[in-house]
Structure 1
Amino acid sequence: MDALDIMSDLDHVIPYFQPIFSADEHRIIGYEILGRYQDSEKVISLGPFFRDRSIPDEFRIEVDNVVLKKAMEKALTLDNDVLLFINRSEELLMNDSGEDLLQLLLKYQEKGISLNRIVLEISNEDPHHQIDHLLNYYRTFGIKIAIDKMKNTSSLLDRIGDLKPDIVKVDLVPLRSMNPPQAFHEILYSLSLLARKIGAALLFKNIEMVYQLQFAWKNGGRYYQGYYLEGPSGQFVPRDSLKNKLKTEFHEFIIYEKRKLEAIVTITDEFQSRLQVILNKTRKYNEYEDLLGALAKDLEGIAFRIYICDEDGFQKSPNLIKMEKGWDIQPEYIQKNWSWRPYFLENIVKMRKEKKGILSDLYHDIETGDATRTFSFPLNGYDYLFIDLSYDFLYKHNQLL
Structure 2
Amino acid sequence: MLTTVQPLRHDQQTPACPPVLGLPSAPLVATRYRGLSLSSHFQPIFSIAHGRAVGYEGLIRARHADGTAEPPATLLAMPGNGRESLELDRTCRTLHVHNFARQATGQAWLFLNLNSQYLVSEQPDIGFTHNLLQSTGIAAHRLVIEIIESEVGDQAQLKRFISHFRELGCLIAIDDFGAGHSNFDRIWDLEPDIVKIDRRLIQDAGHSRRVERILTGMVSLLHEAGSLVVVEGVESEHEALVAIAANADMLQGFYFAKPQARINTGQSFANTFDSLLRGQQWQSVKRSADLRHYVRELEGLFQQAVANFAANQQFEQSSGLLFGDPRTARCYLLNEAGYQVSRNVYGAHYQQQMNARFAPLLCGDNANWSHKHYHYRALKQPGVIQISRPYLSVADSRMCITLSQTVRLGGTLYVFCCDLDWQEQ
Name the TM-score class by shorter chain. Answer: 0.7 to 0.9
Letter in 1 for 2:38: V
2:72 counterpart residue number: 46
**Displacement after TM superposition at 1:369 (Å):** 5.2
TM-score (norm 2): 0.77
1:59 counterpart residue number: 84
1:385 counterpart residue number: 416
Deviations 1:335-388 (A, max 9, x none): 252549xx51x6534432332343222223456554332223223354322222
TM-score (norm 1): 0.81
**Displacement after TM superposition at 1:288 (Å):** 2.5
Could you tell me which of 146, 151, 166 is aligned with 1:126? 151
**Displacement after TM superposition at 1:219 (Å):** 0.6
1:3 counterpart residue number: none
**Displacement after TM superposition at 1:312 (Å):** 4.2
**Aligned partners of 2:251, 2:178: CA distance in 1, in Å?**
21
Task: Map 1:126-145 to 2 at 5 A.
Answer: 126-127=151-152, 128-130=154-156, 131-145=158-172
Deviations 1:99-119 (A, max 9, x none): 44x533443246431111111
Q: Which runs of 5+ in 2 are unaligned?
A: 1-31
**Aligned partners of 2:415, 2:171: CA distance in 1, in Å?**
48
The answer to whether the aligner puts 1:246 opposite 2:273 as a matched pair is yes
User: CA 1:378/1:283 → structure 2, altered by over 3 Å: closer, same or farther?
Assistant: closer
1:78 counterpart residue number: 104
The question of whether the paired residues in 2 share the 8 Å contact of 1:174 and 1:180 is answered with no
Letter in 2 for 1:374: T
1:398 counterpart residue number: none
Could you tell me which of 217, 239, 244 is aligned with 1:190? 217
**Displacement after TM superposition at 1:161 (Å):** 2.0
2:235 counterpart residue number: 208
**Displacement after TM superposition at 1:7 (Å):** 4.0
What percent of counterpart residues are identical?
20
**Displacement after TM superposition at 1:327 (Å):** 8.6
**Aligned partners of 2:208, 2:300: CA distance in 1, in Å?**
37
**Aligned partners of 2:421, 2:113: CA distance in 1, in Å?**
46
Could you tell me which of 371, 384, 399 is aligned with 1:371? 399
Does the residue aligned with 2:334 lie in a helix, a strand or coil?
A: strand
Let me know the Cα RMSD of the aligned residues: 3.5
Task: Map 1:192-341 to 2 at 5 A.
Answer: 192-238=219-265, 240-261=267-288, 275-297=302-324, 300-324=325-349, 333-339=363-369
User: CA 1:62/1:369 → structure 2, altered by over 3 Å: closer, same or farther?
Assistant: same
Letter in 2 for 1:316: V
Does the residue aligned with 1:68 lie in a helix, a strand or coil?
A: helix
**Displacement after TM superposition at 1:303 (Å):** 2.1
The answer to whether the aligner puts 1:89 opposite 2:119 as a matched pair is no
**Displacement after TM superposition at 1:218 (Å):** 0.7
**Aligned partners of 2:353, 2:255: CA distance in 1, in Å?**
50
Does the residue aligned with 2:282 lie in a helix, a strand or coil?
A: helix
Does the residue aligned with 1:140 lie in a helix, a strand or coil?
A: helix
Higher mean C-alpha displacement, 319-328 vs 81-90: 319-328
**Aligned partners of 1:34, 1:61: CA distance in 2, in Å?**
16
The question of whether the paired residues in 1 share the 8 Å contact of 2:194 and 2:229 is answered with yes
Does the residue aligned with 1:30 lie in a helix, a strand or coil?
A: strand
**Aligned partners of 2:244, 2:353: CA distance in 1, in Å?**
42
The question of whether the paired residues in 1 share the 8 Å contact of 2:46 and 2:252 is answered with yes
Deviations 1:179-227 (A, max 9, x none): 7467634542431221121232221111111111111111111111111
1:362 counterpart residue number: 390
The question of whether the paired residues in 1 share the 8 Å contact of 2:334 and 2:416 is answered with yes
**Displacement after TM superposition at 1:96 (Å):** 5.1
**Aligned partners of 1:256, 1:182: CA distance in 2, in Å?**
13
Q: Which runs of 5+ in 1 are unaligned?
A: 1-5, 396-400
The question of whether the paired residues in 2 share the 8 Å contact of 1:161 and 1:194 is answered with no
Does the residue aligned with 1:125 lie in a helix, a strand or coil?
A: helix
1:148 counterpart residue number: 175
1:30 counterpart residue number: 55
Letter in 1 for 2:402: T
User: CA 1:74/1:364 → structure 2, altered by over 3 Å: closer, same or farther?
Assistant: same
**Displacement after TM superposition at 1:308 (Å):** 1.9
Deviations 1:122-152 (A, max 9, x none): 1133233111232133223321111122466
**Aligned partners of 2:283, 2:207: CA distance in 1, in Å?**
21
**Aligned partners of 2:316, 2:304: CA distance in 1, in Å?**
19
**Aligned partners of 2:352, 2:343: CA distance in 1, in Å?**
12
Does the residue aligned with 1:384 lie in a helix, a strand or coil?
A: strand
